[in-house]
Chain A
Amino acid sequence: MVEWSDFERSTILDIFANMDYDVVGPKALARCLVVYPWTQRYFGNFGNLYNAAAIMGNPMVANHGKVVLHGLDRAVKNMDNIKATYAELSVLHSEKLHVDPDNFRLLADCLSIVVAAQMGTAFTADVQAAFQKFLAVVVSSLGRQYH
């Protein structure tokens, strides 16, 4: 089981309590599709992803970004058992969506970068460490049920 310090716990809760999901979700997913273009393979029916401007202005990308970000809420509420919490979602991503789990890591990296931009200097080294540890656990759990 993952051990969380008091600092890590309160940091994660704080970040998500103050998160503007409608801004961060869309930005994170759009950034992922721009910086790692091969991730676009999962969004064939999202319409125009031909260039960065199109991706960043695409309403389906924005909407899906919000969905994905809200998906993290479950982990925030169940930090002591993220693996079990995401078992079903892991199966979904493996058996139905066929997403290479490395993509979870790519999106997590983009999310860190967007949150850093939102928080500025409040995103200290310790906060970054806590946030990236949280995301690493989420990423690992989402990949756990692949076989």
Chain B
Amino acid sequence: MSLTEKEKTVVRDFFGKIVARSDDIGTESLTRLLVVYPQTKSYFDHWKETTPYSAPVRKHGINVMGGIYEAVGKLDDLKGGLLTLSELHAFMLRVDPVNFKLFTNCILVVLSMLFPEDFTPQVHLAVDKFMALLALALAEKYR
């Protein structure tokens, strides 16, 4: 399941449209991941706190969104373009890939919540595919 050229345009356009709220989206998505799927907190033992909207959550949410926007800029070759990020996740972070799906669920809910008119079923489809491909690219170096 790869992105069609039309879907790539949809993804670029949508993410371009919402870039001003990128920090909020990242914070909100990560907050929800930690609340809705509490087992994900296991990756953040080293943080002072994992409470919703707290400073470490906000900082990291913004960080993750930065990665997502980097991927939006590399839609024509996600695997190649995200090699370094993949190595980071594979050898250092070792985040179980099942969590990419959980995070995707959270970000889709946030996008739907904040942009109910723009997050149409067609946009949802393209973004869902993009997130799935992004997760695959991140898992590329795992084994």
Contacts and interface: CB of A to CB of B under 8 A. Distances in A.
Say whether A associates with B. Answer: yes
Interface of A: 30-31, 34-35, 52, 55-56, 109, 112-114, 116-121, 123, 125-126, 128-129, 132
B35 A30 contact: no
Given A125-B52, A129-B35, A52 B122 contact: yes
B36 A35 contact: no
Interface of B: 28, 31-32, 35-36, 52, 105, 108-110, 112-113, 116, 119, 121-122, 124-125, 128
Given A31-B124, A34-B122, A52-B121, A120 B113 contact: yes
Contacts of B52: 125
Contacts of B112: 113-114, 116-117
A55 B121 CA distance: 10
Tell me if A's interface is mostly helix, strand, loop or mixed: helix
Contacts, number: 55
A56 B121 contact: yes
Contacts of A116: 109-110, 112-113
B105 to A, nearest CB: 7
B36 A117 contact: no
Given A128-B32, A129-B36, A132-B36, A123 B121 contact: no
Q: Which 8 A-B pairs have the closest CB atoms?
A: A117-B116, A34-B121, A125-B35, A116-B113, A113-B112, A129-B36, A116-B112, A31-B121
A85 to B, nearest CB: 24
A112 to B, nearest CB: 6
